[in-house]
Amino acid sequence: MKVTCDREALLAAFQTAAAVVPTRSPKPILQNIKLEVSDKSAILLATDLEIGIRIQVPGIQVQVPGSVILPLGRFGSILRESSDELLHLESDGQGTVVRGERSEFKLPGENPQEFPAVADFNESAYHELPARLLRELIKRTIFATDNESSRYALGGILLEMGSEKITGVGTDGRRLAKMEVPAHSIGGHQSGDSMTIVPSKAMQLIERAITDGDAEIQVAARANEVLVRSPRATIYSRLVEGRFPKWRDVFPTRINTVRVDLTVGPLYSAVRQAAIVTSEESRGVDFNFQAGSLVLSGKAAELGQSRVELPIAFDGPAISITMDPRYVSDFLKVLDPEKMITMELKDAESAAVCSTDDGYGYVIMPLARDH
């Protein structure tokens, strides 16, 4: 194999692929990235056997096609530390030579044939949606997942794929985030009764590998795996096993609730201020809604007290609820500051249900009051 590559373009693709490479593995070859070069394309491959990525590298001039195994740490360091615009790579199966304008590195070679295959996207049935919407779905749900839980299903995002939409849901048992986006079903693709729970790590990779400029993204779910294709990358992931909670039960038919419309920016600022004097032991902030204002108050014996008043357009009955400010902040920080949200409250013991006008819902369980 012999190629000349644009260093920055190769570095960007290499760093995305590197997110999959395991730090430890019984198969040492997995701690490398494979470069496959044909007359038409150059593709980096990485996998930990649970998640895999194929990502195209632009700006490569091919003199001799072939494959090479690139060591993650050392080759990554060469790409980062070099200041050359172009690098020349040459491999003869015994080793790899990387040449810059005034530098040369010789790296030991491994057999590219020993690198496991990484699934490509050859599906005829899939969902298609704009990259921007898929990234938004991931951003608005992934923070609510729980990778530490003994309930594995909570360590991923549930994707429900209907005829004209995809719904993503993430929960850790204390809060739940749901995002619904329009998407076209091609070839009758639907998730049906099967649970498509994609691991959080795979979702982070998908968000990183696609850009808003990527136009349309294809998503295909099979029995125990999911494939996602963008114009420059294909990502494969095994699904999380287990039963996802019945999330629709968390959005009950709301009767006798108080609805409050709030602007994200000012509320986010007020929540952050009120949280300054909370602690691990006493982390609740009281949200007191009354005519014309929302008063947030926090207190911790060793830290003091806070009281933050936020003028709001509200003339309903007074109502109070104690919530963890971290959970409220996590929801607000993935939204634009000028966006409006609606918060529905029933009483101090019932969950607060927040929603936006673009298919986003968020449920927060209240905390018991310390006083």
- Does 19 score more than 70 pLDDT? yes
- Does 102 score more than 80 pLDDT? yes
Report strand pairing: 319-323 vs 340-345: unpaired
Q: How many domains does the chain have?
A: 3
Please check whether residue 370 lies inside any domain of the structure.
no
pLDDT, average across residues 265-284: 92
Do residues 11 and 110 both lie within one domain?
yes
Domain extent for 81:
2-114
Do residues 177 and 237 both lie within one domain?
yes
CATH code assigned at 359: 3.10.150.10
End position of a domain, from candidates 224, 246, 268: 246
Find out whether 66 and 111 touch, Cβ atoms under 8 Å. Answer: no
Q: Quick: pLDDT tens for 208-245.
A: 999 867 689 999 998 899 999 999 999 999 999 888 98
Please check whether residue 121 lies inside any domain of the structure.
no
Stated as kind and residue range, the H or E segment containing 3 is strand 2-6
Cβ count near 217 (within 10 Å): 24
- Does 5 score more than 90 pLDDT? yes
pLDDT at residue 223, rounded to an integer: 83
pTM: 0.92
Could you tell me the sign of the dihedral formed by the alpha carbons of 345, 349, 353, 354, in that order?
positive
d(CA 310, CA 49): 51
d(CA 364, CA 367): 9
| Residue percentage of the chain with pLDDT more than 70 | 98
d(CA 43, CA 67): 10
- Does 10 score more than 50 pLDDT? yes
Q: Where in 212-359 does DSSP place strands (E)?
A: 216-221, 225-229, 233-238, 258-263, 285-290, 293-300, 304-311, 319-323, 340-345, 352-355
Do residues 284 and 239 both lie within one domain?
no
Please check whether residue 120 lies inside any domain of the structure.
no
- Does 252 score more than 70 pLDDT? no
**Measured in Å, how far apart are the chain's first and last C-alpha atoms?**
71
Stated as kind and residue range, the H or E segment containing 168 is strand 165-171
Please check whether residue 88 lies inside any domain of the structure.
yes
- Does 326 score more than 50 pLDDT? yes
End position of a domain, from candidates 92, 114, 136: 114
Please check whether residue 119 lies inside any domain of the structure.
no
Do residues 78 and 142 both lie within one domain?
no
Do residues 227 and 295 both lie within one domain?
no
- Does 362 score more than 80 pLDDT? yes
CA distances from 81 to 30, 77, 95, 324 (A): 24, 6, 21, 44
Helices and strands, counts by H and E, the chain: 6, 26
Do residues 242 and 255 both lie within one domain?
no
- Does 274 score more than 90 pLDDT? yes
pLDDT, average across residues 120-126: 95
Do residues 324 and 218 both lie within one domain?
no
Please check whether residue 267 lies inside any domain of the structure.
yes
Do residues 242 and 139 both lie within one domain?
yes
> Any idea which residue has 């830290």 for tokens?
303
Do residues 14 and 88 both lie within one domain?
yes
**Which long-range contacts link 297-303 to residues 24+ away (Cβ below 8 Å)?**
298/274, 298/325, 303/277, 303/278, 303/279
Please check whether residue 147 lies inside any domain of the structure.
yes
Do residues 92 and 11 both lie within one domain?
yes
Do residues 83 and 105 both lie within one domain?
yes
Q: Quick: pLDDT tens for 165-189.
A: 999 999 999 999 999 999 999 999 9
Angular region, 114: left φ>0, alpha ψ -120 to 50, beta rest: alpha
Query: Taking CA 22 as the corner, what is the angle to CA 19 and CA 28, rounded to the nearest 5 degrees?
Result: 135
- Does 371 score more than 70 pLDDT? no
d(CA 223, CA 191): 10
End position of a domain, from candidates 86, 114, 142: 114
Please check whether residue 369 lies inside any domain of the structure.
no
Do residues 179 and 233 both lie within one domain?
yes
